[in-house]
Structure 1
Amino acid sequence: MTGLRELQRQRVHEALSTAAIRLFLERGFDEVPVTEIAAAAGVSKPTLFKYFPTKEDLVLHRFADHLGEPARVVRERERGERPVEALRRHFLDGLARRDPVTGLNDHPEVVAYYRLVFFSSPGLLARVHQYMARDEELLAEALAETTDDLTAGLLAGQVLATQRVLSRRNWQMLADGRPIEEAAAEAVREAEQGFGMLPA
């Protein structure tokens, strides 16, 4: 059972993130000072930094929530299932759920968030690449449990590059105004093609 202290912590965390993303979407990441975000959430600047060590973390904690997910998929795959097949299945399931991480979600805030993260600030994009690099390390570690280190490292890079390209293409289709059902059919076709190019 979640205690009152933890509930309060979750509320402050969510209030800060919500206020930050709203302000960033309105005016741009580089144009909003953290003091304004803290004031909008009703906390002090030092309190904000207790929850989010950097300004970038106010936006990218949503990426942090997915950190290690590919490695988890590999380790928790069904008995006899190959790692690439498990990752392919997981990505296709994400498309079916319209998981924002796949780029296939046309909610206006999700589309705007994607634009904010990938196209508005070099600092944000650099931090995203840090998360991606860490995900690649974790996936390589999981794959190394089934093959040699070099093969694991190469395959981890290939898988995550495939997912990154597919997600970006999906987001671009929606940003260009493609209807979501039409984009979804294309996204599934491209995912099958992309994962089909990976070694078994």
Structure 2
Amino acid sequence: MDVDVDGSRGGDPGGDRAPGAGRSGDEGLGLRERKKRLTYQAVSDAAIAMFLERGFDRVSVAEVAAAAGVSKPTLFRYFPAKEDLALHRFADHEDESARVVAARAATESPLDALRRNFLDGLARRDPVTGLCDVPEVLAYQRMLYAAPSLVARMASYRSRSEAALAAALGDRLRDRLAAGQINAVLNILALENWRRMDAGERADQVYGEAVEAAGLAFVQLRDGLGGCG
């Protein structure tokens, strides 16, 4: 399950959204870019608050625009679709696996790099691993899974993530097959962790089992993928 709650990139089809909008730090941004970033964040905050309170399907784009103090055309320049208002926080994770593989040391295999990254996420209780029991994070994730249109849109994020990872591996047929298997395993691990958090278990209590499950998963991947391990 690819989810982050810290705010990150969204759609920017016309270049009207501030570069780095939703990321921490204003260093290097001019006044115009800062204003864009503030608008982007205001719209995002208003949308998420309303979705959490009433449910994604019960809030209109017009209501979000009004709450954020912008027009609908302005809102759509920042977020091309209603679903992007809820899911833009996934965007920085779309190519995370690909970036991990590309940035690994020459002596480290792709699977070892991805395993290290996932274990580090578990240790940090990164929401993308599912092992996060912060109430606000759990509420956000429940909101996502309650809306069919958001579930469908998340599948497109995973598809792009898989394509990016395949390209980082070499983009041969075997690389595309490997990327599909790796992404499936990461999603299953995260979903299992999230389900346990959603059932009321605590992240600290589940951590050891989550690490063990990740270890087993990557051993199975290595056994099955051979040359990519």
Q: Which runs of 5 or more structure 2 residues have no equivalent in the other structure?
A: 1-27, 223-228
Deviation at 1:186, TM superposition (A): 1.5
Match status 1:124 vs 2:150: yes
Partners in 2 of 1:151 and 1:115 — Cα distance?
Answer: 35
Partners in 1 of 2:141 and 2:219 — Cα distance?
Answer: 26
Match status 1:91 vs 2:118: yes
Match status 1:150 vs 2:173: yes
Partners in 2 of 1:192 and 1:114 — Cα distance?
Answer: 25
Partners in 1 of 2:103 and 2:71 — Cα distance?
Answer: 42
Match status 1:55 vs 2:82: yes
**Amino acid aligned to 1:3:** G
Superimposed CA distance per residue, residues 5-54 of structure 1 (whole angstroms, 9 cap, x where no aligned partner): 11111111111111111111111111100111011111111111010000
Superimposed CA distance per residue, residues 158-185 of structure 1 (whole angstroms, 9 cap, x where no aligned partner): 1100110010111111111112211111
> Is the 8 Å Cα contact of residues 47 and 64 (structure 2) preserved in structure 1?
yes
Which residue in the other structure is 1:138 paired with?
164
Match status 1:33 vs 2:76: no
Partners in 1 of 2:93 and 2:50 — Cα distance?
Answer: 24
Superimposed CA distance per residue, residues 45-83 of structure 1 (whole angstroms, 9 cap, x where no aligned partner): 111101000000001111112121111111100121110
Alignment partner of 1:13 out of 17, 23, 40: 40
* Structure 1 runs of 4+ with >4 Å offset: none
> Is the 8 Å Cα contact of residues 97 and 161 (structure 2) preserved in structure 1?
yes
Relative to total residues, which structure has the larger helix share, 1 or 2? 1
Which residue in the other structure is 2:4 paired with?
none
Partners in 1 of 2:104 and 2:157 — Cα distance?
Answer: 23
**Amino acid aligned to 1:137:** A
SS at match of 2:93: coil
Q: CA RMSD in A?
A: 1.0
SS at match of 1:15: helix
> Is the 8 Å Cα contact of residues 61 and 82 (structure 2) preserved in structure 1?
yes
> Is the 8 Å Cα contact of residues 138 and 198 (structure 2) preserved in structure 1?
yes
Partners in 1 of 2:57 and 2:182 — Cα distance?
Answer: 32
Number of aligned pairs? Answer: 196
Which residue in the other structure is 1:3 paired with?
30
Q: Which runs of 5 or more structure 1 residues have no equivalent in the other structure?
A: none
Deviation at 1:114, TM superposition (A): 1.1
Deviation at 1:109, TM superposition (A): 1.2
Which residue in the other structure is 2:209 paired with?
186
Partners in 1 of 2:41 and 2:219 — Cα distance?
Answer: 39
**Amino acid aligned to 1:110:** V
Partners in 2 of 1:18 and 1:184 — Cα distance?
Answer: 30
State the TM-score, normalized to the length of structure 2: 0.83
**Amino acid aligned to 1:189:** E
Superimposed CA distance per residue, residues 126-173 of structure 1 (whole angstroms, 9 cap, x where no aligned partner): 11100100110110111117xxx1210111011100110010111111
Which residue in the other structure is 1:169 paired with?
192
State the TM-score, normalized to the length of structure 1: 0.95
Alignment partner of 2:105 out of 78, 90, 95: 78
SS at match of 1:65: helix
